[in-house]
Amino acid sequence: MHIVANPPTEMDPGGGAPSPGDSPRVASAASSAISAAVVSAVSANSSSDPSAAAADASMRVAAMVRDVHDYPTPGIVFKDITPLLADAHLFAAVVAALADPFRGVVDVVAGIEARGFILGAPVALALGAGFVPLRKAGKLPRQTLRESYDLEYDSATLEMHEDAVHPGQRVLLVDDVIATGGTAEAATRLVARAGGSVSGLTALIELPMLGGRSRLGTIPIHVIYIV
Ligand code: AMP
């Protein structure tokens, strides 16, 4: 049992927002370096069979995510991914697993504050794509698009700079956890309002009993660890 009642509300402190706009040369060099690290991280622990690698990544993620009960409020089981992030090999393998299904179909990665920044920035580099931060209300300095969404006992707002995604750009959404799907749904609305198209949603963990997928229509969803 993970989240048993209300979905989490404002659990994330503010996170740093990487700047988009690295030159293609820098992006491609970084992408190669990350890919090399990832290949060696995955192959050290699984066969070259992609489905075996995926199963391996899922088991390793499950082992390294900590359940924190009654945080941030009673009834919530918070998925703490900090042990996973502290393991360099697993972190690299997870970045590869998040990125791999979307190679060649993404122009921009949009990471959802705050853990979607930690995962999304290296995924962007692995895909040779730019990075756009989707932030909680009031954190971005310039003109924004805003989308509010309901949580069970609360509501929240997600913002994106109005010029962060250009019309026609293919956008991959990245977050750590899909619970009710409200956050990701708001993210898809922001991208659509900017004229972008959502290539997919890639996430570390899904809590399927909360029904998030049903809110997300036909968007391709890729999850490493389904609880
Ligand atoms: P939701 O909008 O209900 O799908 O919630 C997803 C957002 O809330 C993500 O940005 C997650 O970081 C966060 N979240 C939801 N449930 C949990 C959980 N059990 N543990 C950690 N983060 C969660």
Indicate whether 3 belongs to any domain. no
Whether the CB of 7 sits within 6 Å of ligand 1: yes
Helix (H, G, I), strand (E, B) or coil at 200: strand
For the chain, give the percent of residues with pLDDT over 70. 78
User: What φ, ψ does residue 60 adopt, rounded to 5°?
Assistant: -70, -35
Residue 41 domain boundaries: 23-226
Residue 185: closest CA among 207, 144, 213: 213
69 in any annotated domain: yes
Does residue 192 sit within a domain? yes
Is position 7 within any domain?
A: no
The alpha carbon of 221 and the centre of ligand 1 are apart by a number of angstroms equal to 16
Q: Is residue 148 part of a domain?
A: yes
Confidence (pLDDT) at 56: 81
Q: Please enumerate in sequence order all residues whose Cβ is within 8 A of that of 123, keeping only pairs 6 or more positions apart, or say none.
A: 95, 98, 99, 109, 111, 172, 174, 202
Q: Is residue 1 part of a domain?
A: no
Coil/strand/helix, residue 206: strand
Ligand 1 pocket member 183 (CB < 6 A): yes
The pTM of the full predicted model, rounded to 2 decimals, is 0.82
Q: Is 109 left (phi over 0), alpha (psi -120 to 50) or beta?
A: beta
Half-sphere exposure of 83 (CA within 13 A, CB side): 11
Which residues are CB-contacts of 192 (< 8 A; sequence separation ≥ 6)? 198
User: Is 189 a residue of the active site?
Assistant: no
What is the torsional sign of CA 214, 216, 217, 219? negative
The answer to whether residue 137 is domain-embedded is yes
What does the pLDDT read at residue 120? 99
Instruction: Mark whether 159 is an active-site residue.
Output: no
Ligand 1 neighbour 212 (Cβ under 6 A)? yes
First to last CA, the chain: 9
**Angle at 207 (CA atoms; ends 120, 216), nearest 5 degrees:** 65
- By three-state DSSP, how is residue 121 classified? helix
Higher pLDDT, 47 or 69: 69
Q: How many domains does the chain have?
A: 1
The 10s digit of each residue's pLDDT in 139-181 is 999 999 999 998 766 789 999 999 999 999 999 999 999 999 9
Considering the domain boundaries, does residue 15 fall inside one?
no
Question: Any idea what the CATH number is for the domain that residue 164 is in?
Answer: 3.40.50.2020
Look at ligand 1, atom 23, and give the residue with the nearest C-alpha: 177
In this predicted model, what pLDDT tens digit does every residue of 81-136 receive, in sequence order? 999 999 999 999 999 999 999 999 999 999 999 999 999 999 999 999 999 999 99
